[in-house]
Amino acid sequence: MKKLSIVVSMFFLLGNISFAKEIIRHIHWTQPPYDKIIMQTAKDFMAKNPNVEIKVILVADADMPTKVRTALTADGVDTFAMPNMQSPWFMANGTTAEIIPSAFGKSTVQEVVDMWLPGSIKKTGGFYEGKYYGIPHEMSNYAAWVNTAHMKAAGLDPEKDIPTTWQEFKLIGKILTKKNNGVITRNGFAINTKAAIFPFLILHTLMQQKGQDWSSEKGLHTSLSTKSGLEAFSTFTNWATKDGIFDPGLFDNEREGFGNGLTSQFLTGGTWYWGVLDGYSVKRNEVMPIKYPRFKDGKNIGGVAYGYCVFVAKKAKNKEMAWKWLNYLESHPEKYIVHGWFQPRKSLDKTLAAKYIPNYEVFGEEFEYAASIIATANFAELQDAVGAAVQRVLFEGTSNEDSLSMLKDDVENILEM
Amino acid sequence: MKYNENVQKKGFYFVLPTLIIYGIFLIYPMLSAFHYSFFKWNMISESKYVGLKHYVRMFGDRRFWNSYFTTFHFTLISIFIIIIFSFLLALLFQEKIMLKNLFQSSIFVPVILTMVAVAVVWQFMFQSTGVFSNIFLDIFGINIKWLTSKSVTPYSMILVNVWKITGYYMIIFIAGLLNIPSIFYEAAIVDGSSYFQRLFYITLPLMKNTFILVFVSGVIFSFAAFPQQYIMTEGGPARSTEVLALLIYKQAFEFTKFGYSSAISVAFFITLLVFSLIQFKIFKSESNY
């Protein structure tokens, strides 16, 4: 009898606990100082909604998709953040719930979409095959960065001699490249070729500028057998193989290399790079971001736009509450912009972006022309194949034509065409 | 008899925790990998039975065969060099030399370092302005592309592997040499034999089992290489260092093709099983003196 009463009491106690608070488990990547903002936002949300407990789980960005996949398999997550390059996989595999307008105080999805800058949900990876599944947490775009101190030392004028075409980019790269005994000791341009994603993203822009459509699987596949696709591809590989402005062996990480003055130009820095630069020896006043160069005869397209969206898991118990939490999480863009983090919510005072992000005019203007990254569940394999195609030319001596032809075979295998 | 049974029973209880841990973390995943190799599964979706499709695909997959041969190349050349180096070092340390303990310890130190730390440091040394590159450029006037040449990088990987594990096998060879009864050498010296005669007619024949043990265990160790390639090259340049373990990782955790990845794991397992069986056979064989 005594045992039974204990069991009954425990049952009610546990029952009360589980009914007392609705728990929402949110996975986000860790990045100080933004962690503090997220934690504080969760606290504020809980204060406004005493029946809800937000458990924020901060994880390292590396291999985040695997961590989220594992959590989803075990029903251990309700909301999560994901970069636009990986998010299509989650949407394609039915792990995410569509936006619920009522959670935002709206009556249609379009009204929710209109809360953000035009096209920003697509560019940050919340849109897949005609449906909206995520809202933006961050949006950025690549600009070209140039070391103006190197330019001055080489007799160039950082005002007048800024490259606007790829031809000029190459010529200035040649002037800025330093050699010792025939070995490049300072690159005129650099990119991380070890990680396939970076060559993929640069090629993405070059292909789009050449009129190819890399925003779809079909367009990507078609581009590989076109003359302009070959021109875009060889423009990129020639920097290392023919133009002599890039030695991939000097260092891996171009952001680090640029920060330490080992390369004079690179193409993979967003607004956030100012903060990164502060950790290296090169000073802020020695560099500047510039718009991506264009082909003379090409389209007016800039560096890729990218970002993170936040999503509600399809298996979340209370999806409406989960969306309310995410809407609240993403309704404080002014807190992030102070640290240089751009959230494309319309409620953000535009003057704050100009105030807190140096050279925001470059990034801001380029957003409009930014290339949208392909939304495909096969992204990881496609970028790996593109990275391998670049490596074949750079390190194996394969011709651009042959490498593209092999890439085409790889793409057909991946897409099971 | 009863006493023995009792002791055996108690002994079993002592090894039971280890058996359970092995069962959960080794045996079960192995069986699961075999099971999943017949399914198309991406961790989230329902698994779909595809029969032998992954195995058929694997046999026609250039990337798989490239990884397989890359792994064999890495393993066999590494082991060949390691056996020669570690045996010569073991012979050297049999002699009376100055600061013997210091040298022995120095050669053994890389064994206790984690491969991750080793790989990061060597990566810096291999950069085109790194220590290694500068030494070769200054002395020989050659600019070697240690990590950016398809023909050189596989050997850079082997160099690091050899540096890392030679010390371990040196210790095994030293133990093997100490195991040879000195009476054989004393008798040979009395008969007027030279150093090389003793080496070829006594040492090498009696070290046969040690050599086979080093070969087999070295193959198993090197065949499973992963962190070194993952950190230093990510399988590049142009997939020239994409070893099997790295390909398995990529297929599973980057491309979410867990079924295909499991099929490659099974091929990997069978290859290692062959070497393990050889090792078991060696352990069973008797000492020949």
Cβ-based contacts of A395 with chain B (< 8 Å):
148-150, 153, 236-238, 240
Selecting from A73, A183, A381 the residue whose C-beta is nearest the C-beta of B44 gives A73
Domain match, B30 and B90 both:
no
Cβ-based contacts of A409 with chain B (< 8 Å):
none
Predicted local distance difference test score (pLDDT) of residue A155: 95
More confident residue, B288 or A20: A20
Domain match, A245 and A230 both:
yes
CA B159 to chain A, closest CA, distance in angstroms equals 18
The residue of chain A with its CA nearest to that of B252 is A66
- Helix ranges (H only) for B143-257 are 153-178, 182-190, 195-198, 204-206, 208-223, 227-232, 244-249
* In contact, A137 and A343? CB cutoff 8 Å: yes
Domain match, B196 and B262 both:
yes
CA gap A165, A367 in Å, rounded? 19
Instruction: Region of A140 please: left (phi>0), alpha (psi -120 to 50) or beta.
Output: beta
Cβ-based contacts of B253 with chain A (< 8 Å):
63, 66
Which three-class secondary structure state does DSSP give residue A345?
A: strand
Lowest mean pLDDT among A282-296, A355-369, B260-274: A355-369
H or E element, residue B276:
helix B258-284
Alpha carbon distance, N-terminus to C-terminus of chain B: 34
Half-sphere exposure of A285 (CA within 13 A, CB side): 0
Predicted local distance difference test score (pLDDT) of residue A353: 85
Residue B287 confidence (pLDDT) above 80: no
Predicted local distance difference test score (pLDDT) of residue A165: 96
- In which band, very low, low, confident or very high, does the pLDDT at B283 lie, cut at 50, 70 and 90? low
More confident residue, B1 or B47: B47
Residues 6+ apart with CB under 8 A from A225: A404, A405, A408
B289 assigned to some structural domain: no
Domain match, B88 and B141 both:
yes
Query: Does the beta carbon of A247 lie under 8 angstroms from any beta carbon of chain B?
Result: yes
Residue A299 confidence (pLDDT) above 90: yes
The residue of chain B with its CA nearest to that of A386 is B238
* In contact, B12 and B228? CB cutoff 8 Å: no
- In which band, very low, low, confident or very high, does the pLDDT at A7 lie, cut at 50, 70 and 90? low
Query: Does the beta carbon of B239 lie under 8 angstroms from any beta carbon of chain A?
Result: yes
Q: What is the residue whose two structure tokens read 């064999």? A: B72
Domain match, A168 and A280 both:
yes
Residues 6+ apart with CB under 8 A from B165: B82, B110, B111, B218, B221, B222
Cβ-based contacts of A94 with chain B (< 8 Å):
44-45
Domain match, B29 and B42 both:
no
* pLDDT tens-digit series, residues B23-76: 999 999 999 999 999 999 888 888 899 999 999 999 999 899 999 999 999 999
The residue of chain B with its CA nearest to that of A388 is B238
Predicted local distance difference test score (pLDDT) of residue A14: 52
For residue B63, give the CATH number of its domain. Answer: 1.10.3720.10
Determine the structural domain holding residue B11 and report its residue range: 1-36
For residue A183, give the CATH number of its domain. Answer: 3.40.190.10
Domain match, A87 and A170 both:
no
- Residue range A326-350: mean pLDDT, rounded: 91
B198 assigned to some structural domain: yes
- Residue range A325-329: mean pLDDT, rounded: 96
Cβ-based contacts of A93 with chain B (< 8 Å):
42, 44-45
The residue of chain B with its CA nearest to that of A395 is B149
- Residue range A362-371: mean pLDDT, rounded: 86
Instruction: Region of B85 please: left (phi>0), alpha (psi -120 to 50) or beta.
Output: alpha
Predicted local distance difference test score (pLDDT) of residue A274: 85
- Residue range A162-179: mean pLDDT, rounded: 95
Domain match, A76 and A171 both:
no
A396–B238 CB contact, under 8 Å: yes
B108 assigned to some structural domain: yes
Domain match, B84 and B225 both:
yes
* In contact, A203 and A390? CB cutoff 8 Å: yes
CA gap A68, A308 in Å, rounded? 14
CA gap B236, B234 in Å, rounded? 6
* pLDDT tens-digit series, residues B187-244: 999 999 899 999 999 999 999 889 988 988 898 889 989 999 999 998 988 889 999 9
* In contact, A165 and A293? CB cutoff 8 Å: yes
Domain match, B32 and B44 both:
no
* In contact, A362 and A289? CB cutoff 8 Å: yes
Domain match, B137 and B7 both:
no
CA distances, A85 to each of A122, A252, A272, A317, B252 (Å): 11, 21, 18, 27, 17
Predicted local distance difference test score (pLDDT) of residue A386: 95
- State how many domains chain B has: 2
Interface pTM, i.e. ipTM: 0.76
CA A5 to chain B, closest CA, distance in angstroms equals 36
Predicted local distance difference test score (pLDDT) of residue A3: 57
* pLDDT tens-digit series, residues A115-168: 999 889 999 999 999 999 999 999 989 999 999 999 999 999 999 999 999 999
Query: Does the beta carbon of B148 lie under 8 angstroms from any beta carbon of chain A?
Result: yes
CA distances, A5 to each of A8, A9, A279 (Å): 5, 6, 62
B238–A391 CB contact, under 8 Å: yes
Selecting from B143, B236, B255 the residue whose C-beta is nearest the C-beta of A381 gives B255
Predicted local distance difference test score (pLDDT) of residue A361: 84
Domain match, A191 and A164 both:
yes
CA A206 to chain B, closest CA, distance in angstroms equals 22
A103 assigned to some structural domain: yes
CA distances, A338 to each of A37, A301, A351 (Å): 11, 28, 12
Predicted local distance difference test score (pLDDT) of residue B25: 92
Instruction: Region of A143 please: left (phi>0), alpha (psi -120 to 50) or beta.
Output: beta
Predicted local distance difference test score (pLDDT) of residue B157: 96
- Radius of gyration over every alpha carbon of chain A, rounded to an integer in angstroms: 24
- In which band, very low, low, confident or very high, does the pLDDT at B108 lie, cut at 50, 70 and 90? very high
Domain match, A228 and A259 both:
yes
- Residue range A323-344: mean pLDDT, rounded: 92
Domain match, A151 and A196 both:
yes
Q: What is the residue whose two structure tokens read 């060597």? A: B122
A396–B150 CB contact, under 8 Å: yes
Selecting from B45, B129, B233 the residue whose C-beta is nearest the C-beta of A194 gives B233
Domain match, A95 and A231 both:
no
Predicted local distance difference test score (pLDDT) of residue A8: 54
A371 assigned to some structural domain: no
Residues 6+ apart with CB under 8 A from A387: A193, A195, A196, A197, A199, A200
Domain match, B159 and B233 both:
yes
Domain match, A53 and A106 both:
yes
Give DSSP secondary structure letters for A217-273: HHHHHHHTTSHHHHHHHHHHHHHHHTS----TTS-S-HHHHHHTTSBSEEEEE-TTH
User: Among positive and negative, which fits the CA dihedral A204, A207, A209, A215?
Assistant: negative
Which three-class secondary structure state does DSSP give residue B32?
A: helix
Domain match, B99 and B173 both:
yes
Domain match, A135 and A61 both:
yes
- State how many domains chain A has: 2
B242 assigned to some structural domain: yes
B246 assigned to some structural domain: yes
Interface of A with B in 107-136 (CB under 8 A): none
Predicted local distance difference test score (pLDDT) of residue B136: 84
- In which band, very low, low, confident or very high, does the pLDDT at B1 lie, cut at 50, 70 and 90? low
A183–B127 CB contact, under 8 Å: no
More confident residue, A351 or A175: A175
CA gap A390, B257 in Å, rounded? 24
* In contact, A65 and A82? CB cutoff 8 Å: yes
Domain match, B126 and B214 both:
yes
CA gap A265, A255 in Å, rounded? 10
Cβ-based contacts of B46 with chain A (< 8 Å):
none
- Residue range A52-59: mean pLDDT, rounded: 95
Domain match, A71 and A167 both:
no
Cβ-based contacts of B133 with chain A (< 8 Å):
183, 249
Domain match, A204 and A276 both:
yes
B236–A395 CB contact, under 8 Å: yes
Residue A16 confidence (pLDDT) above 70: no
Domain match, B138 and B32 both:
no
Going by DSSP bridges, is the β-strand pair A302-312/A370-372 parallel, antiparallel, or unpaired? Answer: parallel
- In which band, very low, low, confident or very high, does the pLDDT at A393 lie, cut at 50, 70 and 90? very high
Domain match, B116 and B205 both:
yes
Which three-class secondary structure state does DSSP give residue B144?
A: coil
* pLDDT tens-digit series, residues B71-93: 999 999 999 999 999 999 999 99
Determine the structural domain holding residue A195 and report its residue range: 143-304+376-414
A367 assigned to some structural domain: no
Interface of B with A in 208-237 (CB under 8 A): 233-234, 236-237
Lowest mean pLDDT among A88-102, A279-293, A385-399, B138-152: B138-152
* In contact, A86 and A302? CB cutoff 8 Å: no
CA B126 to chain A, closest CA, distance in angstroms equals 8
* In contact, B168 and B108? CB cutoff 8 Å: yes
Pair of tokens at residue A62: 């590396």
The residue of chain B with its CA nearest to that of A240 is B148
